[in-house]
Amino acid sequence: MESYRPLDITVISATGLNHFLFFLRMRVYVVVSLLNGNSVVEKKTHASNGRNPKWNHRIKFPIEEKAIHTTTLLFVLRQQRVCGDRDIGEVSIPVSELLESNPSGSEHVVDYQVQSMRGTSIGTFTFSHQFREKVSPARDATGSPNPSAMTYTNNQQGIPVYHQSPGYPNYPAPQYGTGVGWYNPTTPVPPGGYPYPP
């Protein structure tokens, strides 16, 4: 059975974006992606103001153990605009490099240079990473691995324990006519339709 290494990422901040952001109130967010061949897992942070934005946004990725050496972690800083968002720069790191630099499994804070779309350095990006212990994924109704359903808590010894998010097989179906302003769809429509409210 394949195993996974959960990777915890905290997108902390960026500094020195002065060469790109000419206005203090510009809003910046980060798109965080795991790339492995044609497989892409993408998440993003909230937007933060200024030339030195701070996010402190936590993200969790389950990475298949055998894919660690072929997977890349990509951060793309984007400017939020009414007329359409645009890329500011990016930071790209092989996942294996993160694991080799921090084999102890503790949380490790690192700084990387942000590369613009033209290949020039435009600032510094700070984030932390931490690899958890190997886990086996939960399986869905078909018996296939479902790593996205994994969450973890600490047991009595303080060790992270992973478990599948609970389903809701006995959750009742929605009922019509139970809320304020609801109507029963089986009630026939009166001739001429419903009158407009005053």
Does the pLDDT value for residue 195 go beyond 80? no
Pairing of strands 39-44, 27-36: antiparallel
Does the pLDDT value for residue 184 go beyond 60? no
Q: What digits encode the pLDDT tens for the residues 46-89?
A: 999 888 999 999 999 999 989 999 999 999 999 988 888 989 99
Taking residues 140-164, what's their average pLDDT?
48
| pLDDT band, residue 148 (cuts 50/70/90) | low
Query: Is this structure's pTM higher than 0.85?
Result: no
Does the pLDDT value for residue 147 go beyond 60? no
Name the residue with higher pLDDT: 198 or 130: 130
Q: What digits encode the pLDDT tens for the residues 98-125?
A: 999 988 888 999 999 999 888 889 899 9
